[in-house]
A and B are shown apart, each in its own frame.
Chain A
Amino acid sequence: MAARNDFTDPERVAHVAKLARLALTPEEQAVLGRQLADILRAVDELAEVDTSGVEPTAFAGPEGTFRAPGQRVAITNAERLANAPEATAGAFRVPRVL
C-alpha cells in the first residue's frame, strides 16, 4: 500500500497540486505531504472491508428526488460582473490565452 499513496515523495505532492491548480510553497509541500501520507495511511483501513458485489453509493437522498431545476434566478449582467476581479465591456477580463 505504501507505494501507491506515498505523499512523502515531493514529486507526488507537486503532481497532485498541479492537477488541483494549487500553487504551494516548498514548506507547504513538505508539511501537506507528510499530513496527507498520514491521512492516507489511516483511510487505507477500508481495504480490509469486503465490498465484493456491493454497489457504491454516490448520493444518499431518497429515490426519485432528482429533477431538472425548475427555475433560475434572474441576475442582470451588471450584477454578475459586480464581483468580478476585472471586467471590461460587459465581460470578464482574463490574461491572454492564445
Chain B
Amino acid sequence: MIPAADWTLCALADRLATGEVSAVEVTRAYLDRIEALDAAVGAYLTVDAAGALAQAETADRHRGEGPLAGVPIALKDIFLTRGLRTTCASRILEDFVPPYDGTVVRRLREAGAVILGKLNMDEFAMGSSTENSAFRRTGNPWALDRTPGGSSGGSSAAVAARLCAGSLGTDTGGSIRQPAALCGIVGLKPTYGRVSRFGVVAFASSLDQVGPMGRTVRDVGRLLEVVAGHDPYDATSAAVPVPGGLGELPQGADLRGVRLGVPREYFPETGLQPAVERAVRAAIEQLRDLGAEIVDVSLPHTKYAVATYYLVAPAEASSNLARYDGVRYGLRVTADDLQGMYAETRGQGFGAEVKRRILLGTFALSAGYYDAYYRKAGQVRTLIRRDFDDVFERVDAIVTPTSPTTAFKLGERLDDPLQMYLADIFTLSCNLAGLPGLSVPCGFDEADLPIGLQLLGRPFDEAGLLRIGAAYEDATPWKARLPGDPPEVRR
C-alpha cells in the first residue's frame, strides 16, 4: 500500500494532480488506517467509506480539477453534510441526517476533496477536552490516556494520528487552537466573518468561526483558501477578498520588518506550566533571529476574558439551543403535554455541560440580572477589543502560549468545570475581539507532549499570521516529529 498518510496535504495534493498516485488508492490507504487504528484513538463518530470511495473515483476522472482534488478530509461533526449523519456529539441529534450541505462542505466538494467522515467533539462544541461527547472518548495520539483538547478534539487527534490529510473545526473560545496545540498540529481560527457559518450548528453566534486544522502551516493555508470568502447565505459573512498563494508560501522566508508584541499578561506567575513558558520564550527568540522586532506590550483586561466569555457564550447558547424542542428534528421524549415534552426531551437529550451553560445563559439573560451579567460582560468585551486595537497600532501580530499546559489526563478535570474553563484562558480574548489566531507547534515538554505557540493578528490578516507561522515552521524541527501509531485493533 502507498504511504499516502506520510505526505502533508500540500504534497499529497501535488502528487494527485500529477497523477503519481490515484485518489482511490490514497482514500483506501486512509480508510485502512482508520479501520486499523481508530479503535485506539477514537477520533471518528461516522466513517463514510462508500461515499469517500465514490468521491475518490470522481476525483480520478477529473484529475487536477480543483485545489483539493482527491485529498481525503474529515470534518468535525458540527458541519451539515447532506445525507451523512451529523450529531454534534449529542444524543439530541443522534439520528439527524441533514437535507443539505453547509457552505464550507459544498466548497470542499467543489474543490475535489474526499470526505472520509465525521469527527468527535465536545457536545455542541462546549468543552476543552472532547470528554463532553455523548458517544466516545478520544485519546491524544501522543499519549492515549490524555485529552486531545477540545472542542475540536476529534479533528486534532485525526490529523495528528494521520487518519485524514486535514480537517475543519470550529472555534468559539479556542476550540481549534487549543486542541491543535495539545496534539502538535497547526490550527487557524480565522477572523469573525472570514468563513461562512451557514450549515454549521450554532453555539454562540457572535463568537463561532470555522477554521482549518492540518499538519503544516501551508496545509492550513491551502484549506483556508478553499473555504474562506463571502457567502450570501450567511448574513455575518464579510465581503473581504481572500488572498491567494497561502498553500505556496515561500520557503525559508525571514521576518525582517515584522513587529511582534509579547503581552505580559499571557505569562502569569502561576498557572503557566514551566515547560510551556520555556518553549514559548525560545520560540520568541527564534522569531527575533528570523528578523522580527520583539516589543513588550500590555493587554490589561486579559484577566477578565474568562468571566466575560462565560457570560456571553452561554447567553448566546441558551438562545441558539432553544431550537432543540423535539418538534421538527432530533430526539423526542413524549410527555402529557407540549411543555412537558420540551422539558423532558431537553432534559434527556442534553449532557451535563450543555445543561450548565443553558442554565447559566438563561440566568444571565433573565429579568433583573441582564444588566449585572450580560450587559456588563458586553461592556468588558468592548474594553478587551480596545486593548487589541491599541496594541495593533504598534505591532503586526501578538505572540503568546496557546494553552497554559500540555495535554492533561482524561477524567482529570471532568468534575470541576471552572478548572476546565481555564484551559482556554489564552484563546478566549481572540474570539471576544473577532480576531484571527493561529497555533503552531513550538516544542515538547518533559513527557514528550506537544506545546503550541499562538499568533494573534489584525482583522482579516490571516495571510500575515500564516507567513510568520511558515517562517517559524521552516526554521524549526517540530513538524517532522509525529506520534507513533497506536496498537492495531481491527473490528
B109 to chain A, nearest CB (A): 15
Q: 0/1 per residue, B60-101, Cβ < 8 Å to A?
A: 000000000000000000000000000000000001110110
Contact A21 B343 (CB under 8 A): yes
B residues near A46, Cβ cutoff 8 Å:
304, 307-308, 311, 376-377, 380
A60 within 8 A of B: yes
A96 to chain B, nearest CB (A): 8
B234 within 8 A of A: yes
A residues near B444, Cβ cutoff 8 Å:
none
Q: How many angstroms between the C-alpha atoms of A55 and B347 in the bound complex?
A: 36
B358 within 8 A of A: yes
Contact A60 B192 (CB under 8 A): yes
B417 within 8 A of A: yes
Q: 0/1 per residue, A1-45, Cβ < 8 Å to B?
A: 000110100000100111111111100100110011011101111
Kindly report which residue of chain B lies nearest to residue A60, judged by CB atoms: B434
With A21-B343, A66-B236, A70-B233 already in contact, the answer to whether A83 and B459 are too (CB < 8 A) is no
Contact B236 A61 (CB under 8 A): yes
Q: 0/1 per residue, A65-98, Cβ < 8 Å to B?
A: 1111111110100011011111000001011110
B residues near A31, Cβ cutoff 8 Å:
352
Task: Give the contact-size bracket for chain B.
Answer: 35 or more
Kindly report which residue of chain B lies nearest to residue A48, judged by CB atoms: B304
Q: How many angstroms between the C-alpha atoms of A17 and B346 in the bound complex?
A: 11
Contact A83 B341 (CB under 8 A): no
B96 to chain A, nearest CB (A): 6
Contact B359 A32 (CB under 8 A): yes
Contact B326 A85 (CB under 8 A): yes
Contact B360 A39 (CB under 8 A): yes
B366 within 8 A of A: yes
- Residue in B95, B206, B233, B359 whose CB lies within 8 Å of A73: B233
With A61-B238, A79-B99 already in contact, the answer to whether A71 and B373 are too (CB < 8 A) is no
> For chain B, what secondary structure do more than half of its interface residues adopt (helix, strand, loop), or is it mixed?
helix
With A19-B362, A65-B238, A68-B235 already in contact, the answer to whether A54 and B383 are too (CB < 8 A) is yes
Contact B382 A56 (CB under 8 A): yes
With A4-B372, A68-B235 already in contact, the answer to whether A38 and B379 are too (CB < 8 A) is no
Contact A16 B206 (CB under 8 A): no
- How many interface contacts (CB-CB < 8 Å) are there between A and B? 197
With A39-B417, A80-B99, A95-B336 already in contact, the answer to whether A67 and B235 are too (CB < 8 A) is yes
Q: How many angstroms between the C-alpha atoms of A80 and B335 in the bound complex?
A: 24
A residues near B344, Cβ cutoff 8 Å:
23
A4 to chain B, nearest CB (A): 7
Contact A95 B328 (CB under 8 A): no
B245 within 8 A of A: no
Contact A22 B417 (CB under 8 A): no
Q: How many angstroms between the C-alpha atoms of A67 and B231 in the bound complex?
A: 11
A residues near B207, Cβ cutoff 8 Å:
60
Contact A58 B362 (CB under 8 A): no
- Residue in A7, A32, A68, A96 whose CB lies within 8 Å of B352: A32
Contact B206 A58 (CB under 8 A): yes
Contact A60 B432 (CB under 8 A): yes
Q: How many angstroms between the C-alpha atoms of A91 and B365 in the bound complex?
A: 33
B334 to chain A, nearest CB (A): 8
With A22-B358, A22-B359, A94-B327 already in contact, the answer to whether A62 and B193 are too (CB < 8 A) is yes
B254 within 8 A of A: no
- Residue in A23, A25, A43 whose CB lies within 8 Å of B307: A43
With A20-B362, A62-B238, A71-B233 already in contact, the answer to whether A55 and B433 are too (CB < 8 A) is no
Contact B376 A69 (CB under 8 A): no
Contact A51 B379 (CB under 8 A): yes
Contact B383 A94 (CB under 8 A): no
A49 to chain B, nearest CB (A): 5
Q: 0/1 per residue, B236-265, Cβ < 8 Å to A?
A: 111110000000000000000000000000
B residues near A24, Cβ cutoff 8 Å:
347, 355
- Residue in B307, B332, B352, B385 whose CB lies within 8 Å of A42: B307
Can you name 27 A-B pairs with beta carbons within 8 Å?
Answer: A16-B362, A17-B359, A18-B343, A21-B346, A22-B359, A23-B348, A32-B355, A38-B418, A43-B373, A47-B372, A49-B304, A49-B376, A57-B382, A60-B192, A60-B206, A60-B385, A60-B433, A65-B235, A65-B238, A71-B233, A75-B100, A83-B96, A83-B330, A92-B328, A94-B341, A96-B337, A97-B338
What residues of chain A have their CB less than 8 Å away from a CB belonging to chain B? 4-5, 7, 13, 16-25, 28, 31-32, 35-36, 38-40, 42-47, 49, 51, 54-62, 65-73, 75, 79-80, 82-86, 92, 94-97
